[in-house]
Structure 1
Amino acid sequence: MGFAVQLCYENVNGSCVKAPYSPGSRLVLYTVFGCGALLAMLGNLLVMIAILHFKQLHSPTNFLIASLACADFLVGVTVMPFSMVRSVESCWYFGRSFCTFHTCCDVAFCYSSLFHLCFISIDRYMAVTDPLVYPTKFTVSVSGLCISISWVLPLVYSGAVFFTGAYDDGLEELSIVNQNWVLIDFLSFFIPTLVMIILYSNIFLVARQQAKRLKILRERKAAKTLSITVITFMISWIPYSIDSLIDAFMGFITPAYIYEICCWCAYYNSAINPLIYALFYPWFRKAIKIVLSGQIFKNDSASMNLFSGQM
């Protein structure tokens, strides 16, 4: 005797089929996805507070990192919690209009992360290859321009998705129908990623040839840490990008659970960046201790030295 098929909406024609996850599986999935969302929110919030509060961290590069953290924080707030329910329940319970808004947030904030990482790679390239004139080239104003571009372009692209309704049909099927949009998505991911690969490859080639002076060693260490961030981003997003491209041109052959795995690999990137900073940046660990211990509320906390005892 077969099991009756459960639909997300019993009274709606063409309603999606609800996946029959067991209670234990649902608990595990909610725990894994919920922890990712909390880490994306709290971890990136700590990054923003640390960089904006401590005067010693006020630099063009760190402002870019704080803005990147803001994009990842918004992924954790506006995207991951609702995607968590969709992934576990295999149904969208938040209405059609919010579905479109959710996708726009997904597109805007994820591409904002990508653009920030691209500009950070340009910043590190300039710092390592031309360290003497770098401070005069990559100023706070230039950093502000990069941050503005990293927000405006993804928001405009996201707005185009919203107003054209290009993703509407695809959202109901948990995949993107419009092949032109998928191709634009893939190129928007591939081109900046290729730029980052080329820049970081040149960074390490040039760094090897340079004299091992103190300042250059510091720049090389920063470049190495940020390159780990970029590599993590690529590993997280490549499965989703390739899967979307293949699916759109091969008739949506990917099973729903594979699509969800690819989605959450990408989402989890927003939660991983703060962990990378905590592992490789002593100043970030010290800043976290100051924030969590409440010392941040002292009058002179903004002027604390976070680099004492570091190279």
Structure 2
Amino acid sequence: MYIFMVCIILATLVGNLTVIISISHFNHLHTPTNFLLLSMATVDFLLGFLIMTCSMVRSVEHCWYFGELFCKIHMSMDIMLSTASIFHLSFISIDCYYAVCDPLRHKLKINTFIILVMILVNWMIPAGFAFGMIFLDLNLRGAEEIYNHARCAGECFVFFSETSGVESSIVSFYIPGFVMLYIHRKIYSTAKRQARSIDTISQKKMHFETKNDISFGRERKAAKTLGIIMEVFLICWSPFFFFTATNPFMNYVIPPILIDALVWFGYLNSTFNPIFYAFFYTWFCRALKMILFGKVFQQDSSRTNLFLE
């Protein structure tokens, strides 16, 4: 189990660290959209470095060795970073919506200031929600006796009452998930309509390609990538949040070991995110090669255009 979980953690750290280094180092990647990707990669990296490492010891040893105060800090940061990662995905879908459905005004609507506001929201709301819930014991509201009876010494797990379980699932998963589904449906219908229009135009002008066609192709590719990321996100996190919302109403019949396994299944979403960049973005592959071969230490390497063939 340790070997298996260490592999997951290393994949999460290496993948997201590569995204962080790539966007931070190369000047051509300094765009508002990529700043949002950079923020999400930072969240996923911290989730792997700060949360998954301690969760690994807890999951394998079935015991918490780091004290009660750090247990609360760990639970708060776990909820915060997991929620922030999901929030980033929903805001990335909003950015993709404007890029595909309103490309002429995309840069005007999604500028650096708007992205900074998005990033601030992605960090502050999950932080206030998570730390407020755990340190004010709002997650135990109405179920204090059940918690005291169920909790054993040396354990560290997030316990939800009926109310807090539903509220946590709605805030952390169902609202951003619904936003992603709705926006992706709009993107899909718009992209399909635009594709038919371009096919019609292409039949009239053979062997003629414009910058707009290239740009549209990139946006369609981004929309396709978003769709796959969204599907993986739903697969990874749906089981955990479903049982989080329903388990209190079923008198906590779900064994803790299963809940813990579903948490790790959700963590995999942060592992998979940078992998999709490697498959669908050529700039990521080229940046990865330059990082692996140490070319980022060469003079003026930050000016390398990763989009050139």
> Normalising TM by the smaller chain, what interval?
0.7 to 0.9
The aligned residue for residue 198 of structure 1 is 182
* Pick aligned residue for 1:148 from 120, 126, 129: 120
Letter in 1 for 2:280: F
Which has a greater percent of helix?
A: 2
Structure 2 match to 1:234: 234
Task: Name the residue aligned to 2:20.
Answer: 48
Indicate the structure whose relative CO is greater, using CA pairs within 8 Å and at least 6 residues apart: 2
Q: What amino acid sits opposite 1:206 in the alignment?
A: T
**CA deviation vs aligned residue, 1:88-128 (integer Å, no higher than 9, x gap):** 11111211111111101101111111111111000000110
Residues 174-229 of structure 1, C-alpha deviation per residue, up to 9 Å, x if partnerless? 45232222111111110110110010111010111113332212111011112212
What residue identity is the alignment partner of 2:111? Answer: T
1:108-155 CA-partner distances (Å, limit 9, x unpaired): 111111111111000000110111111111111111111111001011
Give the structure 2 partner of residue 274 of structure 1.
274
Q: Is the CA contact (8 Å cut-off) linking 2:77 and 2:131 kept in structure 1? A: no
Q: Which of 209, 213, 238 is the matching residue for 2:193?
A: 209
Q: 1:285 to 1:70 in 2, by over 3 A?
A: same
Deviations 1:47-84 (A, max 9, x none): 01101111111111111111000000010011101111
- Aligned residue for 2:6? 34
Query: Which of 17, 20, 42 matches 1:70?
Result: 42
Q: Which amino acid aligns with 2:248?
A: A
Is residue 80–residue 129 contact of structure 2 (8 Å, CA) maintained in 1? yes
Matches within 5 A, 1:96-115: 96-115=68-87
Counterpart residue identity of residue 185, structure 1? S
Residue range with higher mean Cα deviation, 266-275 or 206-215:
206-215
Matched, 1:183 2:155: no
Residues 75, 157 of structure 2: 8 Å contact kept: no
Question: Residue 89 in 1 paired to residue 42 in 2?
Answer: no
- Amino acid in the other structure paired with 2:77: C
Identity %: 39
1:261 offset after TM fit, Å?
1.7
- Count matched residues: 281
2:300 matched to 1:294? no
Distance 2:108 2:23 in 1: 21
After superposition, the CA RMSD in angstroms is 1.6
Q: Who is 2:93 aligned against?
A: 121
Q: Secondary structure at the match of 1:44?
A: helix
Structure 1 contact 176–248 (Cα < 8 Å) conserved: no
Q: Cα distance, 1:256 vs. partner? A: 2.8
1:4-28, CA deviations, whole angstroms, 9 ceiling, x for partnerless residues?
xxxxxxxxxxxxxxxxxxxxxxxxx
Unaligned runs of 5+ in 2: 141-146, 199-212
* CA separation of 1:146 and 1:122: change in aligned 2, threshold 3 A: same
Looking at structure 2, the residues matched to 163 and 256 of structure 1 have their Cα atoms a distance apart, in angstroms, of: 22
* Counterpart-to-counterpart distance in 2, 1:307 and 1:250: 53
TM-score, with structure 2 as normaliser? 0.87
Q: Which residue number in structure 2 is paired with residue 245 of structure 1? A: 245
CA contact 2:87–2:176 (8 Å) conserved in 1: yes
Q: Distance in 2 between matches of 1:123 and 1:273?
A: 17
Q: Deviations over 1:32-53 (max 9, x none)?
A: 1111111111211110110111
Instruction: Tell me, yes or no, if the aligned pair for 1:283 and 1:307 is still in contact at 8 Å.
Output: yes
Name the counterpart of 2:284: 284
CA drift at 1:167: 4.7
| Residue 246 of structure 1: how far off its partner (Å) | 1.7
Contact kept in structure 2, 1:175 and 1:252, CA below 8 Å: no
Instruction: Tell me the residue number matched to 2:220.
Output: 220
Q: Contact 1:177 / 1:248 at 8 angstroms: preserved in 2?
A: yes
Do the aligned residues in 1 keep the contact of 2:40 with 2:85 (CA within 8 Å)?
yes
Q: Distance in 2 between matches of 1:175 and 1:69?
A: 25
Instruction: Give, in angstroms, the shift of residue 290 of structure 1.
Output: 0.7
Q: Which moved more, 1:169-178 or 1:284-293?
A: 169-178
